[in-house]
Structure 1
Amino acid sequence: MQSVQYSYEDFAKMPSSLFRLMGYDMLETPRNRQQKIMMQVYRALCLGSHCVCLGFMIFRMLEMKTINSVSLIMRYATLVTYVVNSDTKYGTLLQRGAIQSLNNKLAAMYPKTTLDRIYYRVNDHFWSRALSSMIMFYVGSSIMVVVGPIFTSLWSYFFHEQFSYMHCYPYFIFDPEKHSVWIYLGIYALEWLHSTQMVISNIAADTWLIFFQVQISMHFRAMIKSIEDYQPSWENDVADRHFLSKIVDKHDYLVNLQKDLNSIFGGSLLLSLLSTASVLCTVSVYTLIQGLTLEGVTYVIFISTSVVQMYLVCYHGQQVLDLSAFISHAVYNHNFHNASLSYKKFLLIIIIRSQKPVELNSMGYLSISLETFKQLMSVIYRAITMLRQMIQ
């Protein structure tokens, strides 16, 4: 009995669902009027809260009166770098038309029949349990950073009989002796929506990128497999050359799809990697300063998931780089000995064309691969060591 083969819509469910958590429907799913209004209101609340919090953060930094310790400086540095990272990725995802166009092209290419899906091994490319768990864990750890202060306040209330009115971000100053508890609740609501905007923008952008890259890689693997499986012969020369022409056309189309992907995400990919590296540096140093508190533990978890997130983007960039190179190996290794001379000349053309690697890159300057991840982690480690020594 054949297992159920996933559809393209099943693949797209993960990234589109993530983005809807902040009220943004990337694929514009059909909804009734009431649902659309509710989504738009929620979207406005998230964006509005983000703008308000961003305004307060800039005001506090210009004021400088309340930033009076090394710990607070590092906390502000962490917030600034994370805001830059998240807003960069959010700006990328505002290219809705380009993303929808790429999504439609990949949906049209997706194998339609069960036998084709088995041949493409679509289930092997589906979101793994480990990857889905990592995404949920990232969202959960980010939520813990936000709800950690209120848990600490409740702990203080139950064990010390005093509610400490802690909240997540230092740019809102709350004095329980002067301000109403409703102001505290309002601050926390603003911080929650602000965090939702940043966290979902951050993870959803990379999820869309990984989703598209997995689809392109899946087609490259199927193309390599079809070349390796093909058995040409002199008697079928016309059919053989027709097969190769389809391979060439598909290769060109996949190269263009990768260019579309790079044009959407490449412009902000370099800035995203640099800002993510900055976030990791500042969060790590801040955690070292704070020590092993509830906030420190949640930040350690957040750092771990951020490193994995960066690794996954580089890993899938490495995958498409390797697969594009494997095309020439597949052509060389398949059984072409009984083919016609014209067929063999076509093979040379494919080998020459595949010498130029297809890659995930940042505006043509930086190839995103495991080597990039290795170099970036090395730089982050040296930066953390230097910052720690400067503070000490």
Structure 2
Amino acid sequence: MSGRAQLMWDEAVTGYDFGPGHPMDPVRLALTMRLVEAFGLDKAMQVVGARPAGESTLRLVHRQDYIDAVRAASADPRAADPSYGLGTPDDPAFIGMHDASALIAGQSVAAAEAVWRGEAAHAVNFAGGLHHAMPGSAAGFCVYNDAALAVARLLELGAERVAYIDVDVHHGDGVQAAFWEDPRVLTISLHEHPRTLFPGTGWPTETGAPEAEGGAVNVALPAGTGDAGWLRAFHAVVPELLAAFRPQALVTQHGADTHFEDPLAHLTVSLDAQRLVAESCHALAHEHADGRWVALGGGGYAVVDVVPRSWTHLCAIAAGRPVEPGTAVPEDWRHEVYRRTRQWGPQRMTDGLRPEWRDFATSGYDPADRLDQAILATRRAVFPAHGLLP
């Protein structure tokens, strides 16, 4: 293993653009990369482009008829077929949609290859994490499921156990669906409760097919959950399951839409807690997967104030050059933000918080606390399948 982190980047990923007014504004990707560069992290990481995923790779997860439908809509958006989730308000068709989506998928697949082959210790594709796409349909701003494709490629290369951790505010439903019957994959998703947020799935009772019982893990967090509860839930579920599962590689999805400023959801997590979870994922990869870590982006619609800082912290952690939270944001980057958006960017790499949480194992279960109820529901549903006490 080289020990050096890779950053997957090609400016063409900003072509993944659903058009004016859509929440998935590609400026969030460009601004993240400019902030990475402003901190010199592109010099601390190997910046690598990758070819778009070809059809044989896409078919690791997606059906051929769906790929054909994406190609048709990409050539002529008027041909978009809503039965494939295309041409909808969430996933409007655009010229070049297949190429942009396949490029993002190719970046995540290449990240998985580099980590598995020992060409890099860690690899980041913050343009990826498009976790809602299903084998036969687009959904939730996601056309091709690069996260599932990265996991599938690891399996194809010989991995016997791969763990996927998803901390996006929305349930990682597409990745769960792709591996529902596969005991080689453990999918863990912490997300806002399906009663209050798209896609309406991710109940603790969703635990995998009979032949892969306990392979799907869902923590459904009450709306309004903030730093202390989010971190408590993560640490009450993830480390014990990884220790029992013993993954050979870790793929993580770091949607920034858990943030209290995000306009599409209802959790109240800070940038500082997001950074702590990224640090925990890094540590868990070293503890349980020989350091093999593929880190992806995901949702996040506070495209100036939150997303670039959150994913720059992610890159810095992967590079072994963590940015101190109180660090001032480079002024040149703030001017670039204003030039592109007519907004002034944030001034520091922190929300000014120092998140703390109570450990579930030592503090005890509070039956009147909705968060603890959610944690216990998950542990009861899946822990026994892994030989663990709930």
Q: TM-score, normalised by structure 1?
A: 0.27
Larger radius of gyration: 1
Q: TM-score, normalised by structure 2?
A: 0.27
Structure of higher RCO (CA pairs closer than 8 Å, 6+ residues apart): 1
More helix by share: 1
More strand by share: 2
